[in-house]
Amino acid sequence: MPRSRRIDPKGFNRLVKGRDGYYLHNRNDEYIGRAIEKYGEYSALETRLLERLCASGDIVIEAGANIGAHTVALAKRVGPEGRVLAFEPQRLVFQTLCANVALNSLTNVECYWAAVGSAEGRIIVPEPDPTRQSNFGGVALSDVPDGLPVDCVSLDRFVSLPRMRLLKIDVEGMEAEVLLGGRQLLKKFRPILYVENDRVEKSEALMRLIDGLGYRMSWHLPALFNPENFYSEKEDIYPNIVSVNLLCLHRDADLVLEEFREISDFASHPMRR
What pLDDT is attached to residue 143? 65
CA distances from 105 to 57, 72, 79, 99 (A): 17, 10, 12, 10
115-154: string of b/e by CB count within 10 Å (b at 16+)? bbbbeeeebbbeebebeeebebbebebeeeeebeebbbbb
In this prediction the pTM is 0.94
pLDDT at 43 over 90: yes
Question: Domains, the chain, ranges and CATH?
Answer: 12-250 (3.40.50.150)
What pLDDT is attached to residue 172? 86
Q: What is the mean pLDDT of the chain?
A: 94
